[in-house]
Structure 1
């Protein structure tokens, strides 16, 4: 039985994400995130405590997008579940922990970011109806930074104003 512990961390990437593909073709990105605790001294001044390093794993599209978007030193936020596992190495019992990421994003307290939607591929793992609008999404962002508002995307990738006939 496994215990799932939800976690949120904010820190900096220690290295570029390491993207690999498993035998089944599923993308897996390994990230290492350093989190520094801020400590207030008795005189009221603030300083960084010792860093805590977290191993983070991301899978599928999240892994590919993180690998293409992030690099060493980037401030990131990660939401996911803490996973523990026990194993034996050289006759010794050992334990390891990692965060299996559900979301990863840049920490916007320290800079700005430009969002660009990735085209989705149609397939069984994408879900019912996914990919029907992929052509429209690939050519048009869902949000326009220039107008600071949503961009209208025609339903099912067809031209706007199409009417159904029976």
Structure 2
């Protein structure tokens, strides 16, 4: 089975998150993001350069959750894709791009916080023996044979 991958991006939230609504009524998050850049020196050390800045958007549930959880200055990681489009500014067509985040959260390597799982459904814990028995019973049932 092939491993499904998508583009990812990481950095920091450079502007206050903004909420808008699409024509179809979906919540849309817009935020300006920054990405730190570094230059490797001959002695193996790194020199921090000026960050680059980009646009990032998210829609629907991802946007709604991000609007309540992300703030300017937060480090993040996002999965999604880059969308290129043309806008008109001062009578000229300008090519631009934005990152469309389908999944978005804090960067665990750079963020300290606690997770509240109190509202999470408790899935019954099953050990390997239980899983094997259930799998055998399921296979026997689908083939019409008992155990």
TM-score by length of 1: 0.64
State the Cα deviation string for residues 89-145 of structure 1 (Å, max 9, x = none).
33212111001111111000013333457xxxxxxxxxxxxxxxxxxxxx7324xxx
| Residue 27 (structure 1) shift | 0.1
CA separation in 2, counterparts of 1:34 and 1:10?
A: 9
Inter-partner Cα distance in structure 1 for 2:46 and 2:80: 29
Structure 1: unaligned runs, 5 residues or longer:
1-5, 118-138, 143-150, 154-166
Secondary structure (helix, strand or coil) at the match of 1:110 reads coil
The question of 1:88 aligning with 2:88 is answered yes
- Could you tell me how far apart the structure 2 residues matched to 1:87 and 1:32 are? 17
Residues 18, 51 of structure 1: CA spacing in aligned structure 2 closer, same or farther, 3 A cutoff?
Answer: same
SS in 1 for 2:79: strand
Distance 1:87 1:140, change over 3 A: closer
Structure showing greater radius of gyration is: 2
**Corresponding residue number in structure 2 for 1:32:** 32
For the 8 Å contact 1:106–1:113, the answer to whether it is kept is no
Residue-pair matches, total: 119
Alignment partner, residue 11 of structure 2: 11
Counterpart check, 1:72 vs 2:68 = no
Structure 2 segments unaligned to the other structure (5+ residues):
1-5, 125-147
Alpha carbons of 1:16 and 1:88: their partners in 2 closer, same or farther (altered >3 Å)? closer
- Secondary structure of the 2:112 match is coil
Could you say if the C-alpha distance between residues 93 and 44 of structure 1 is closer, same or farther in structure 2, counting changes exceeding 3 Å?
Answer: same
Moved over 4 A (4+): none
TM-fit CA distance, 1:23: 4.1
Task: Name the TM-score, length of structure 2 as normaliser.
Answer: 0.71
- Residue equivalent to 1:44: 44
Q: 3-state DSSP class of the match of 2:66?
A: helix
Give the number of the structure with larger relative contact order, counting CA–CA contacts within 8 Å between residues 6 or more apart: 2
Pairwise CA RMSD of aligned residues? 2.0
Matched, 1:141 2:120: yes
Q: Does 2:80 align with 1:101? A: no
